[in-house]
Amino acid sequence: MNRIIISSILFAALFVIGCSKDEPHDIVNEIKMSVSAETGTYIPWGSDTPVECMLVMSEDNPGILEPLAFGRIEGFTYERGHEYYLSVKRTILANPPMDGFDRTYSLIRILDDRVITEPEEPEDKEINSEEDIVYHDKCPFNKYAMEKELLVDSEGNIRYSNGDQLPPYDMARLWIEDVLPKDDPNWIEFQKVPYMAIYSFVLSPFTDELRLVRNDPMFNEAIPENEFNNILSMKSGEKAHYALILVNVYMDGLQKLEFTITKQ
């Protein structure tokens, strides 16, 4: 009888252990996070009214500023006009509350705290040519990359050089990637707002005028219809050489990316 009881207890214990292994667990990581000196807005769940919030960028989603409510980072007090670089414990909850967030943040330490005195708005600088663009400190630097060659056939179909087709002209986009490796000595510095590409000046072979576009620009913003028609009329094998000069929110230059459009 005792053997039966003991066996039952052991079986029950093993069953509980096996079930606990299958249950989801919280995922806890230490991550680096940049906090912009400028704020944004978000609409809380169940509300129609925008609320001011922080703008943050985590190391596993570089180049993307995301809204985060004030007070969401436990132990951290945000001060407007300050730009921060933080070490944060992020907990992704296995069983988040129905009406709450799926993750929590708590401050480990402040790695950098810098006061930004310039306004976080595009400055009205007189920029009429490439020579008028003043590069920011440490720039130009190879932080960003894009496809170096695009192919266009006589029917207006746009492809990458590897053959992958883009959406139609009115829906295609020129994607710019943040490719700076994390082991680069400038990685921490270059995740801050002054080194983030917000706009681009387009250098075109068809005009001397600069076009200002947002990143990542739509294809028809960077290459307007009249220029696209010029490319369609080119002979097979001819190339149109373009460039994007990436600039930050202050209109300071960061990097020049050149690309060609080849007529097939």
Instruction: Mean pLDDT check: name the lowest of 12-16, 69-73, 133-137, 203-207.
Output: 12-16
Report whether pLDDT(35) > 50: yes
Give per-residue pLDDT as tens, 93-141: 988 887 778 899 999 999 988 887 554 444 567 888 999 999 999 999 9
Residues in the chain: 264
Burial 1-12 (b: 16+ CB within 10 A, else e): eeeeeeeeeeee
Instruction: Mean pLDDT check: name the lowest of 35-39, 129-133, 210-214.
Output: 35-39
Q: What is the pLDDT of residue 49?
A: 76
User: Across the strands, what pairs with 258?
Assistant: 243
pTM of the entire predicted model? 0.58
How many distinct helices (H) and strands (E) make up the chain?
3, 15
- Where residue 63 falls (left for φ over 0; alpha for ψ -120 to 50; beta otherwise) is left
Mean pLDDT of 74-91: 92
